[in-house]
Structure 1
Amino acid sequence: MRNTWKNLALGTLLLGGIATQTACSNSDSDGSPEKTRLQIALTDDPGDFAEVWIDVKEIRINSSDADDQNWVPLAGVKAGAYNLLELVNDRDTILADAEIPTGKISQIRLVLGDNNYLVTNEGERIDLTTPSAQQSGLKLNIHQAVVGGIINKLTLDFDVAKSIVKAGNSGKYILKPVIRTILEAVGGNIRGGVLPDSVQTAVLAIQGQDTIASTYSLGGGYLIRGIPAGAYDLHFLPTDTNFLPAVKPGVPVVLGQVTTVDTVRLPLK
């Protein structure tokens, strides 16, 4: 998808995976399949609610290209209720930490229970219903290699604003998760700050006309996770119209590293 930063300023955020990594050898010296360590983490971007709780029951993994078979429950999943809005701006929680065969992850399924709900800024609790098509688990396409000898951390980055849909004027809300998957072994991170810290600001990492990833600042800080190595122009788009956008060009990203960017001060109109 190709979007200009002006389009994204209106709320269109690009979701997607990162480029595929080369796998290591596929067996140990004793002839058994080589194992690699996979962590699955959950994080979120800020949303306009006080709390958003999801009920995680199970994670299933598929290493084949057949999406109707070969699904295997992932060991060590920490089932339970998670408040997504506690997991923002460089905070996450590990949902699973397990050994799997080295090779490729084609897909995973995030299986949720029935105890999903939100709390409005006014303190009202509202249950979130889940479409019947997702009751067998939300399928996420990965299609990336996992490498032996390192921790491969797969982060599930919820977009709360897009994941919660109001059902007309009924007062009901539907949970239709929109999740960006990030395998940190194949990407780098960008961290920085925006002033004034009271102004929520969209931060976009752009190459040419392509927006590769985006997030919002929280308390003046931001973190863009898991993007390919290269140079990016960072665009800062404040939600407060008393301030002008800002750009920081040529920010380098290195695989497996965090690039810390000098704090940007938004200019007043």
Structure 2
Amino acid sequence: MKKKLSKSFFVLTAAFALLLLAGTSCSNDDMPETTSTFQLKLTDAPSFLYSQVNIDIQGIDVYVGNTMEGSAQVKDGWMKLNLQSAGVVNLLDFMNGKYKVLVDQEISACNITKVRFNLGSDCSVKSLVTGNTSTLKTNGSFTFSVDWDIEAGEDYSFVVDIDAAQSVSLDLNFDPEPYVRAFVEAFGGNVSGYVHPATAVRYIEITNGTTKLYTIAEKIAGAIDGTDKGYFAFICLQPGDWTIKFVTKTTSGYQTREVPVKVTAGQTFKIPAVIELSK
């Protein structure tokens, strides 16, 4: 005589089978990552003629190759990035190591060879001398070359450094192509310090013999003219020996001074003493 199996027996058997399947199946943690975190930041070198250099950023595209979606390779071409906030940006708000995050998103593994900024019509400059605001003429976009390999599962942060002083011509055309530095944020080393008096400094130059970069001393809030000190910084410099030159105003009575510094990869060299200018 055959025994009838109870209903509860079948329920328990099915539950046990499901547990076995769950134990042998792949979890989400085992799935290979196919995308990477991609950040794009904006910084700037100063202008000696303008208190504002405003560019109207409406979009950013990158030219990608070797892009993989799953196991399929996608055709090379332009890809639109997710701009965090479109609109007018004053480049001079982001000097001496400050930056603005433009893009922060996930992208597929690829090789990026070009970056294109698409500009709107609301671009302008404000004169340091007269205080007048004038329209800044553009071509509607500017493009520069890079070589960024994006691998799946990694985090990337890139910095775009636009030299405002050299990008604006005397006839108020914006031509930044030759004056853009684009690099991995972790590249090189940094230098920062203070100079006194800040009001005597026309501009600050740093050079390693082949590359020259510029900034200005940012006067500390609340300081009194003639007794002030100013902050300066240079970021993402190639490791090695550099010379900082503090170029003074001819009417200040102070002498230009040079200070040698050594840049180390991955470190910020903070000049320990205030750079004192002499008459």
Range into which the TM-score falls when normalised by the shorter chain = 0.7 to 0.9
Other structure's SS at 1:71 match: strand
Q: Which amino acid aligns with 2:193?
A: G
The answer for unaligned runs of 5 or more in structure 1 is 1-27, 168-172
Query: Pairwise mapping of residues 168-183 of structure 1 onto structure 2 (< 5 A)?
Result: 173-177=172-176, 178-183=179-184
The answer for unaligned runs of 5 or more in structure 2 is 1-28, 67-75, 220-229
* Deviation of 1:265 (Å): 2.2
CA spacing shift, 1:210–1:165, aligned 2, 3 Å: closer
* Alignment check: 8 A CA contact 2:195 2:277 kept: no
Q: Which residue of 1 aligns with 2:236?
A: 226
Task: Determine what percentage of the aligned residue pairs are the same residue.
Answer: 24
Q: Which amino acid aligns with 1:237?
A: F
CA spacing shift, 1:127–1:267, aligned 2, 3 Å: closer
Residues 236-269 of structure 1 deviation map (CA, whole Å, 9 limit, x = unaligned) = 23133531322224x24123x3222224524425
Other structure's SS at 1:162 match: helix
Q: Which residue of 2 aligns with 1:90?
A: 97
Q: Distance in 2 between matches of 1:226 and 1:211?
A: 12
Pairing 1:124–2:132 present: yes
* Deviation of 1:108 (Å): 0.9
* Deviation of 1:116 (Å): 0.4
Pairing 1:143–2:147 present: yes
Q: Which residue, 185, 195, 203 being the options, matches 1:201?
A: 203
Name the Cα RMSD after superposition.
2.7
Give the TM-score normalised by structure 1: 0.73
Pairing 1:254–2:265 present: yes
* Alignment check: 8 A CA contact 2:189 2:263 kept: no
* Deviation of 1:29 (Å): 5.3
* Deviation of 1:205 (Å): 4.1
Q: Which residue of 2 aligns with 1:110?
A: 117
CA spacing shift, 1:203–1:162, aligned 2, 3 Å: closer
Q: Which amino acid aligns with 1:107?
A: K
Q: Distance in 1 between matches of 2:119 and 2:263?
A: 38
Q: Distance in 2 between matches of 1:247 and 1:37?
A: 39
Residues 116-165 of structure 1 deviation map (CA, whole Å, 9 limit, x = unaligned) = 0112232322111113xxx3x31111113346666422222121111111
* Deviation of 1:85 (Å): 1.9
Q: Distance in 1 between matches of 2:151 and 2:191?
A: 23
Q: Distance in 1 between matches of 2:197 and 2:109?
A: 46
Q: Which residue of 1 aligns with 2:12?
A: none
Q: Distance in 1 between matches of 2:245 and 2:196?
A: 11
CA spacing shift, 1:186–1:88, aligned 2, 3 Å: closer
Residues 91-133 of structure 1 deviation map (CA, whole Å, 9 limit, x = unaligned) = 22111111123453211111111110112232322111113xx
Other structure's SS at 2:166 match: helix
Q: Distance in 2 between matches of 1:217 and 1:146?
A: 36
Q: Which amino acid aligns with 2:143?
A: K
Q: Which residue of 2 aligns with 1:40?
A: 40
* Deviation of 1:190 (Å): 1.9
Residues 24-81 of structure 1 deviation map (CA, whole Å, 9 limit, x = unaligned) = xxxx953452x2222211222221212221100000012229xxx6100012432111
Would you say how many aligned residue pairs link Structure 1 and Structure 2?
225
Q: Which has more radius of gyration?
A: 2
* Deviation of 1:218 (Å): 2.9
Q: Which residue of 1 aligns with 2:17?
A: none
Give the TM-score normalised by structure 2: 0.70
